[in-house]
């Protein structure tokens, strides 16, 4: 039974290796998530700044048009002032000229502020565009590296599967069936016994069972979790480490 137990342990180790590589491969795409999230945020900011710059440009054009209209009105007011025939008409035309001049001055001051804001927005937009482009290039580079890493892990997985299949062939069919059933139910099938305690469920084994395991004449099961158990100190082979966070052990 010693050799069969060794074969079961080899299979369990091979199974664990396959699962480990499969888990790594499944998690590889998520490596790109942080860069993707940063890129989405920057692109959203870039879109908002483009919209802001477009609005600013629209306001600037509106103010330019308004100033042109005010200049036309000022010209008409000056014509009225020149054509005034009495003091009343002169005063009215003069007030209109002053009003138009003030309106033009106010609009020009506002236009200056809008133009300065447009220049700042354009500068921010250019800087943000460079940031987005740099992050896109980084994402492309990460994707290329991920493709290569995935290919390497797939090669390792293929080799691990071959090793697992070879290990399965080394286990007798009856024990292989038991092993598969326990693995499906408990997460792993074979657990070491350390100081009389099953490391699968942490239950202290009956002394008689512990003594039977010492003789290595048979493969026994834990009374509580039903895993195949063995005394590690009596097995001349590297033992599979039983994870404590596997399937429920009750």
Residues of the chain with pLDDT under 50: 237-250
**Do the beta carbons of residue 93 and residue 80 sit within 8 Å?**
yes
End-to-end Cα spacing for the chain? 27
In 3D, which of 190, 164, 180 has the Cα closest to residue 22? 164
pLDDT value at residue 231: 92
pLDDT value at residue 246: 40
Report pLDDT digits (tens) over 90-102. Answer: 999 899 899 999 9
pLDDT value at residue 236: 55
Report pLDDT digits (tens) over 68-90. Answer: 999 999 999 899 888 888 888 89
In the chain, which residue ranges form alpha helices assigned H by DSSP?
2-27, 33-83, 87-169, 173-186, 207-215
| Domains, the chain, with CATH or none | 27-167 (1.10.287.1490), 172-234 (no CATH)
pLDDT value at residue 23: 97
pLDDT value at residue 234: 80
- Three-state secondary structure call for residue 112: helix
Q: Record the pTM.
A: 0.70
pLDDT value at residue 235: 75
């Amino acid at each position: 039974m010693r050799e069969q137990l060794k074969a079961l342990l080899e299979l369990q180790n091979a199974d664990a290796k396959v699962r480990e590589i499969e888990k790594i491969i499944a998690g590889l795409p998520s490596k790109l998530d942080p860069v993707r999230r940063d890129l989405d945020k920057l692109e959203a900011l870039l879109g908002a700044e483009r919209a802001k710059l477009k609005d600013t440009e629209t306001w600037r054009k509106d103010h330019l048009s308004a100033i042109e209209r005010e200049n036309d009105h000022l010209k008409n007011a000056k014509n009225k002032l020149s054509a005034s025939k009495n003091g009343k008409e002169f005063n009215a035309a003069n007030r209109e000229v002053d009003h138009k001049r003030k309106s033009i001055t106010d609009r020009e001051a506002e236009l200056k502020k809008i133009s300065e804001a447009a220049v700042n927005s354009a500068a921010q937009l250019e800087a943000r565009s460079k940031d987005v482009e740099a992050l896109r290039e980084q994402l492309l580079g990460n994707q290329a590296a991920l493709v290569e890493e995935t290919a390497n892990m797939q090669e390792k997985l293929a080799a691990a599967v071959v090793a697992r299949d070879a290990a399965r062939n080394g286990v007798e069919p009856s024990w292989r069936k038991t092993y598969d059933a326990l693995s499906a139910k408990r997460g792993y099938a074979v657990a070491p016994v350390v100081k009389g305690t099953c490391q699968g469920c942490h239950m202290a084994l009956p002394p008689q069972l512990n003594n039977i395991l010492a003789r290595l004449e048979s493969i026994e099961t834990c009374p509580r979790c039903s895993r195949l158990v063995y005394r590690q100190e009596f097995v001349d082979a590297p033992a599979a480490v039983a994870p404590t966070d596997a399937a429920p052990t009750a």
